[in-house]
Amino acid sequence: MQSDFGLRPFLLALAVVAVWGTNFVVIRLGLDALPPLLFAALRFTLAALPLVFFLKRPAVAWRDLAAYGLAIGLGQFGLLFIAIDGLIAPGLASLVVQVQVVFTIGLAMRGTGERLAPVQVAALALAIGGIAIILAHTGGSTTVLGVVLVIGAALSWSLGNMVNRRVGKVDMLAFVVWSSLFAVPPLFALAFIFEGAPRITGALLAATPAVWVVVAWQSIGNTMFGYGAWGWLLARYPASSVAPMALMVPVFGMGASALFLGEALPPWKLLAAALILGGLAVNMFGPRLLARRARA
C-alpha cells in the first residue's frame, strides 16, 4: 500500500466525491420524468447489464452479493429516491445521508463489543444536533417523512458497508455489478405494486433521450466510476487518507442544488451542515489526534 497520497490520487478522489455530490441534482432531474422505484430499478439494471457478462463474479458468497445488493439498491437508493421525490430537498438529502457514518460505527462496535469513547460521544452529539435542527425546520420542500426516509437510506448504506467489510478486499467494480442483480427484481416488483403498470408504461414511453442519459449517468458515472475508483483508491492508499474526502460530498451536493435547482441555503441549514459535518470530522480525526497527543 502506498503512503504518498499525492496530487493524482487526490484529484481522482475529488472527482469521485464531486460526482457523488452533484448526483443528487441528477437524481432530482430524473425524478421529474420517472417514478422513484422505477428510476432505481432502471439504474441498477444498467449497473448490472451488460457488464455482468464480462466481469468475473468476485470470490464471495452469494449471500453477501445478495445482502449488499438489497442494502444498497433496495434500501439506500430505493428510500433515497422516494425521499427526494418531493419529500426533501436534494442538497439536504446529500447531507442527512452522511449519518451513515454514525450507523456504520455503531454496527461495527456492536460486532466487536467496543464502547463509545468520549470523543465519539461528542461527535455523535454534534451530528444529532444537526439532524434536530433539520427536523425543527420541516415544511415546504423538507418533511419529517423525507428526513426519516433518508435516515433509513443511511442505515441501509451502513449495512452495505458491513457486508463490504466482511468480504474484505475484492474487485469492487465486479462486486457492485454482480450485487446489482439482486436489487433489480424487488425494485421492479415494488414499482409495479406501488406505482402501477399504467404509470410505469407511460413514463417509459414518454422518456426522452435526456432521461436515458440521466439513468445512464446514475449507472456509469455514479456507480461504476464512483465505486470503482473509490475501491481502487482504498486498495492502494491508507483509508485515513481516502475516507476524509467523503466529507466533501454534501459540500458538492448542497452547492450544486443551490446553483442548478435554486435550493435555498438559509442560516439554519448551514448550521445543521456545520454540526453534522463537524461531528463526522470529530469522529474521523479526533481519536487519531488524541492518540498522537498521548504519544507526545
- Calculate mean pLDDT across residues 3-21: 83
CA nearest 39: which of 145, 147, 195? 195
Mean pLDDT, the chain, integer: 86
* Average pLDDT score over residue span 281-294: 73
Supply the pLDDT for residue 220: 87
* Sign of the C-alpha dihedral computed for residues 108, 17, 284 and 98 taken in this order: negative
Residue 55 CB contacts under 8 Å (≥ 6 apart), including other chains: 171, 173, 174, 177, 178
Per-domain boundaries in the chain: 7-295
Mean pLDDT, residues 160-168 taken together: 82
- Cα-trace Rg, the chain: 19
pTM: 0.85
Chain segment 229-287, per-residue pLDDT in tens: 877 787 677 665 676 677 788 888 888 988 998 888 888 888 888 888 887 777 767 77
Q: Is 115 exposed, middle or buried (0-12, 13-18, 19+ CB in 10 A)?
A: exposed
pLDDT digit string, tens, across residues 49-88: 889 999 999 999 999 999 999 999 999 999 999 999 989 9
CA distances in angstroms from 83 to 41, 117, 165, listed in the order given: 16, 33, 27
More confident residue, 176 or 191: 191
